Amino acid sequence: MSAASLFQARGLVKRFGGLLATDHVDLAVEKGEIHALIGPNGAGKSTLVNLISGLLPLDGGSLSLDGVELTGLAPHQRVRAGLSRCFQVTSVFGHDTVLDNLLLAAQAHAGSSFRFLSRRSAEKELMDTALALAETVDLAGALHRIAGTLPHGAQRKLDVALALAARPRLLLLDEPMAGMGPEDSLQMVALIEKLRAQTAILLIEHDMDAVFQLADRVSVLDYGRVLASGDVDYIKGHPEVQAVYLGTDTET
Ligand SMILES: Nc1ncnc2c1ncn2[C@@H]1O[C@H](COP(=O)(O)OP(=O)(O)OP(=O)(O)O)[C@@H](O)[C@H]1O
Ligand SMILES: [Mg+2]
């Protein structure tokens, strides 16, 4: 962890009754980095993401992004500070069109400079933003589809676009490939690789092919602790990691 890390988590602690779900976790994400977080079921990955995004209160530790202290901030304040997330369960408005979802997200994150624009200019700016987001996630051909009727893979892409509307500097992705077939997974890998140019990413994923393809750094959680952290080759060769995770996770 260098002093210049984009994101730093120090000594994070979360207890659920007697269970130490997050056990003094230190984690850093550098600018431009895709940092993958892996670990067996129940290791504490989602809990960690919920602590970082502010959905769960911390029992200890602190967080900062780009030198801004996030500890104690509400989730929407963290989004404003540059931290955006996708959910394991998709967060799109199913009865609205893809375009309406994107317009809504663009509007929610429009800066205060909008106050000085005419209504016409503001609407054009929102439309441009929405179309650019659709382009980024490869949904420009589906703008007028009702979001809830899209195939699963396309809904996940829309979910990513909604998170991108906040112009994050750190994007949290909790199992973006969950429930996807091979074709959709490949497309999601390509999308995440493309996003590297605009935001750092903390990626939680069970699909090891995807993790090893995308990650600059991998941290392994086990019983709420960071068991190991390093580049892909280091993690692949780490005996304890193989024992607790890779060796037992034969399906991926
Ligand atoms: N709200 C909660 N109340 C009590 N215990 C919880 C709560 N949320 C999670 N836990 C427990 O904390 C531990 C970590 O759970 P978590 O969901 O963070 O794991 P995970 O690594 O995301 O697992 P998975 O790979 O299955 O998504 C588990 O033992 C879980 O049962
Ligand atoms: Mg989880």
Q: Of 144, 166, 188, which marks where a domain is finished?
A: 166
* 59 within a domain of the structure (yes/no): yes
Distance CA 61, CA 167 (A): 26
Give pLDDT, residue 113. Answer: 62
Q: Is the CB of 118 under 6 A from ligand 1?
A: no
Q: Is the CB of 61 under 6 A from ligand 1?
A: no
* 99 within a domain of the structure (yes/no): yes
Where does residue 35 fall: left (phi above 0), alpha (psi -120 to 50 degrees), or beta otherwise? Answer: beta
Q: 130 CB contacts (<8 Å, ≥6 apart)?
A: 99, 102, 103, 105, 106
Q: Which atom of ligand 1 is nearest to the CA of 43?
A: 21
**Closest Cα to atom 4 of ligand 1:** 16
Number of domains in the chain: 2
Local structure of residue 15 (DSSP, 8 states): E
Give pLDDT, residue 90. Answer: 56
* 75 within a domain of the structure (yes/no): yes
Query: Which of 45, 177, 203, 244 is the pocket-test mutation for ligand 1 (most atoms within 8 Å of CB)?
Result: 45
Burial of 250 (0-12, 13-18, 19+ CB in 10 A): exposed
In angstroms, the Cα distances linking 13 to 29, 52, 62, 67 are 18, 11, 9, 21
Q: Is the CB of 43 under 6 A from ligand 1?
A: yes
Distance CA 67, CA 2 (A): 12
Give pLDDT, residue 8. Answer: 97
* 131 within a domain of the structure (yes/no): yes
Give pLDDT, residue 249. Answer: 46
Give pLDDT, residue 91. Answer: 62
* 87 within a domain of the structure (yes/no): no
Shared domain check, 69 and 183: yes
Structure tokens at 244: 């607790």
Q: Is the CB of 46 under 6 A from ligand 1?
A: yes
Is residue 146 helix, strand or coil? Answer: strand
Containing domain of residue 22, as a range?
1-82+168-252
Shared domain check, 185 and 155: no
Shared domain check, 247 and 180: yes
**Closest Cα to atom 6 of ligand 1:** 16
Give pLDDT, residue 95. Answer: 86
Give pLDDT, residue 89. Answer: 54
Is residue 148 helix, strand or coil? Answer: helix
Q: Of 119, 147, 166, which marks where a domain is finished?
A: 166
Give pLDDT, residue 119. Answer: 80
pLDDT along the chain (252 residues), means of 10: 81 97 97 95 94 96 96 92 76 84 88 71 90 97 95 93 94 92 95 96 93 96 95 92 65 45
Give pLDDT, residue 109. Answer: 80
Residue with tokens 């970082």: 52
Q: Which atom of ligand 1 is nearest to the CA of 48?
A: 18
* 89 within a domain of the structure (yes/no): no
Shared domain check, 204 and 134: no
Shared domain check, 172 and 63: yes
Q: Is the CB of 51 under 6 A from ligand 1?
A: no
* 66 within a domain of the structure (yes/no): yes
pTM over 0.85: yes
Q: Of 166, 184, 204, which marks where a domain is finished?
A: 166
List pLDDT tens digits, range 104-136. Answer: 999 888 876 666 677 888 888 899 999 999 999
